[in-house]
Amino acid sequence: MAIQIKSVEEIQLMRRAGIVVGETLALLRESVKIGMRTIELDAIAEENIRKAGAIPSFKGYFGYPATICISINDEVVHGIPGDRSEEHTSELQSPMYLVCRLLLEKK
């Protein structure tokens, strides 16, 4: 695979995407509460990404049904959001690992 040189516009889109991802992760960190279902966090992430004029790139990718990949504590990485929730405060220090990528629509 050859190295692809990005245009200035592509680099600007990548930078903006990174900012939206960072803001979304910060919002999720602020939003998580004990007992909250992972599907609720997914909805928050999707709403924030779309509000920023972006598209969640995981959603629909090879049939993936969600905006984020999320795992709680000892779960395997890249879990699909659902009805799972974190119930224990002792494990809430770092309850979730989130992976979220997006593509920005060219306007």
Q: Which of 14, 16, 34, 29 is nearest to 68 (CA)?
A: 29
CA distance 102 to 107: 15
Q: What is the pLDDT of residue 91?
A: 42
Supply the pTM of this predicted model: 0.78
Q: Are 81 and 72 in contact (CB under 8 A)?
A: no
Question: Over the stretch 42-99, which tens digit does the pLDDT of each residue have?
Answer: 999 999 999 998 888 888 889 989 988 887 766 666 677 888 776 654 343 333 334 4
CA distance 98 to 25: 7
Question: Over the stretch 6-56, which tens digit does the pLDDT of each residue have?
Answer: 889 888 888 888 898 889 888 988 888 888 888 998 999 999 999 998 888
CA distance 69 to 5: 29
